Amino acid sequence: MSIENKPNKFLPTTRKEMEERGWDELDVVLITGDAYIDSPFMGIAVVGRILEDIGLRVGIIGQPDVESDKDVKRLGEPKLFWGVSGGSIDSMVSNYTATKKFRNSDDYTPGGKNTKRPDRATLVYTNLIRRHFKDTVPIVLGGIEASLRRLTHYDYWTNKLRKPILFDSKADYMVYGMGEQAIIDLGTYLKEGKDPRTIRGLCYISKEAPKGEDFKEIPSHQECLDDKEKYIDLFRDFYDNNDPIYSKGLYQKVDTRYLVQNPPSRHMEEEEMDNIASYPYQRDLHPFHASEGKVKCLETIKFSIMTHHGCWGECNFCAIAAHQGRTIRTRSEQNILKEAKHFTTMKDFKGIISDVGGPTANMYGYECKKKMNLGTCIDNKRCVDAHRLCRTMKVDHSRNIQLLKDIRAVPGIKKAFVASGVRYDLITADKKHGKEYLKEMVDHHISGQMKVAPEHTNDEVLHHMGKPGKQTLIDFKKMYDDLNKESGKKQFLTYYLIAAHPGCEEKHMHELKQFTTHELKMNPEQAQVFTPTPGTYSAVMYYTEMDPFTKKKIFVEKDPRRKEKQKEIVIEKKRFGGKNSKSKTSGAGMQG
């Protein structure tokens, strides 16, 4: 169903909407920790539209009341399966700061007050279904909260290893990763009455271990509890078996049963990416929620364009590589431009596209040919690390430059911002088109400031983070400042910084402060205290207090007060240019 033929309909979230379609029963009911926002940026909406596209009747329940049956029962029991997601953000990350203080606001909740998303939402919603529907159809988990907890995982909020989430939730299956093809297969198999346990990209619990060379046994849950090095071994298998070209399935013994993770689902091709992006999303909050207030996230996602999925940057504290994958999958220029043109037909569009990008904006339009044919490299070989960019990764911004120019040329588009983060090391590495890309950004696609993420500047800390060295940042800043001067603009760089990452001591934060003062000539206004989230190497470091690649001991700050002190060191106000000069900040509005 194309954008041009878009009906003025959300997927149903009430009985009345079902009746208007002539439905007395749904095939699938999806439950999410977010309000129902029909947008290509909302995973539950994408899943719903995919299932709709293969002919299933789908309804969505956003942020159900967990103390009663009024919401979970309002669409009735589905015919094929329930789909459960904690939402677009892990519920524990959404609900708590890095120092475990409760967050009062939620950008995905109408009215903005954090009162609708329960802790461990995936578990709560599954139990809600079980409580009110006995012997029901299968319950299938999905989304980032479940995906990154599919095996034994470190849970920061209880400070212990937890079992795979299927064991804690009592759900039947889990679709992990992005899951586009897996959800198509699941809907088709269940509709046809076929056993779904052979589907790639699916996890389930079994009484017996799977047989065959396509599966690898990993350390048991008990072994991980007994030996932190075993947990490192498990995580490396988890991380290294996410590529659909070569990865094996995994199985892990948990008590007397097994968690089985089938091999990963294949990545979408460009044509399929285009098709999913062209579904008839309403790009708005469902009217059911409207009386409760606006959702803040719509300010940024309503008129934004997702150009690609995946990221091969592999920052150790980031879960994107484990969830979306390390191979870039792009949409075609034609499809992206069609979306931009569609915006101009919408009555509330003011000519401003909030973002054109992806997990890393300047990874659009190129990939390593070796990776595309053989899959991501193994044995800890990365496309980019703290020291260099792999020789076979030919960085080329030319396709991205042309795309941005074409979007600007669409009648009715006044401005198209690139608000997604960019890798400045890729800009400096692209000797043919890097400076041209940055000039394009400086002249047309930022407003006053550009976001970059050095996170730190100490070599030892950067090594543990998986980030490039500080000289690259110095070189990039000079290029950026020179281009702004040439263009007659006064635009700043804003820097994401992290305090208390594994391997980081107070002395390292003092070094970072000296660097920001003397090299960057600015006072950071904000820095983020590191949060160990499931699915990341940095969380493994935090729990084990070891470098997971060498298994050598490293320092890890675990005292909340000293974590905050690290943060305070770098945001302390300093004067520039001597004791008579005035303090200034060339990074106002900085976030981290």
Q: Which two tokens stand for residue 282?
A: 């309403």
pLDDT tens figures, 390-425: 888 999 999 999 999 999 999 999 999 999 989 999
Asked if 575 and 455 sit in the same domain, the reply is: yes
Could you tell me if residue 233 is inside a domain? no
**pTM summary value:** 0.93
pLDDT tier at 315, thresholds 50, 70, 90: very high
Could you tell me if residue 7 is inside a domain? no
Asked if 318 and 343 sit in the same domain, the reply is: yes
pLDDT tens figures, 21-70: 999 999 999 999 999 999 999 999 999 999 999 999 999 999 999 999 99
Please, what is the average pLDDT of the chain? 93
Asked if 376 and 396 sit in the same domain, the reply is: yes
Q: Which residue has the higher pLDDT, 259 or 524?
A: 259
Asked if 25 and 78 sit in the same domain, the reply is: yes
**Alpha carbon distance 161, 153 (integer Å):** 5
Q: What is the CATH number of the domain that holds 355?
A: 3.30.750.210
Percent of the chain with pLDDT over 90: 88
pLDDT tens figures, 266-297: 999 999 999 999 999 999 999 999 899 999 99
Could you tell me if residue 226 is inside a domain? no
Residue 1, pLDDT above cutoff 50: no
Residue 580, pLDDT above cutoff 90: no
Query: What does the DSSP assignment read for 355-404?
Result: EEE-SSGGGTT---HHHHHH-S--TT--SB-SS-B-TT-----HHHHHHH
Percent of the chain with pLDDT over 70: 95
pLDDT tens figures, 524-539: 888 999 999 999 999 9
Q: By residue range, what is the domain housing residue 349?
A: 303-446
Residue finishing a domain among 446, 470, 486: 446
Q: What is the CATH number of the domain that holds 560?
A: 3.30.750.200
pLDDT tens figures, 128-156: 999 999 999 999 999 999 999 999 999 99
pLDDT tier at 587, thresholds 50, 70, 90: very low
pLDDT tier at 7, thresholds 50, 70, 90: low
pLDDT tens figures, 106-135: 999 999 999 999 999 999 999 999 999 999
Give the pLDDT score at 584: 37
Could you tell me if residue 135 is inside a domain? yes
**Alpha carbon distance 314, 384 (integer Å):** 8
- The reply to whether 311 sits in an annotated binding site is yes
Give the pLDDT score at 591: 27
Whether the Cβ atoms of residue 51 and residue 23 lie closer than 8 Å to each other:
no
pLDDT tens figures, 551-569: 999 999 999 999 999 999 9
Average pLDDT score over residue span 160-171: 97
- The reply to whether 203 sits in an annotated binding site is no
pLDDT tier at 574, thresholds 50, 70, 90: low
Could you tell me if residue 69 is inside a domain? yes
Q: Which two tokens stand for residue 29?
A: 């009911």
pLDDT tens figures, 416-428: 999 998 999 999 9
Instruction: State residue 223 phi and psi, 5-degree precision.
Output: -60, -40
Asked if 39 and 132 sit in the same domain, the reply is: yes
Asked if 417 and 485 sit in the same domain, the reply is: no
Could you tell me if residue 278 is inside a domain? no
Could you tell me if residue 71 is inside a domain? yes
Asked if 437 and 468 sit in the same domain, the reply is: no
> Measuring CA to CA, how many Å separate 135 from each of 70, 129, 203, 365, 417?
19, 10, 20, 48, 50
Residue finishing a domain among 166, 185, 202: 202
Number of domains in the chain: 3
Residue 576, pLDDT above cutoff 70: no
Average pLDDT score over residue span 535-549: 97
Asked if 389 and 469 sit in the same domain, the reply is: no
Asked if 462 and 566 sit in the same domain, the reply is: yes
Asked if 556 and 431 sit in the same domain, the reply is: no
Going 124 to 128 to 129 to 134, the CA torsion angle's sign is positive
Residue finishing a domain among 398, 418, 446: 446
- The reply to whether 315 sits in an annotated binding site is yes
Give the pLDDT score at 526: 81
Q: What is the CATH number of the domain that holds 105?
A: 3.40.50.280
Dihedral of CA atoms 130, 136, 137, 143 in degrees, nearest 10, equals: -10
Could you tell me if residue 523 is inside a domain? yes
Give the pLDDT score at 5: 43
Sort residue 37 into left (φ over 0), alpha (ψ -120 to 50) or beta: beta
Asked if 428 and 376 sit in the same domain, the reply is: yes
Asked if 396 and 462 sit in the same domain, the reply is: no
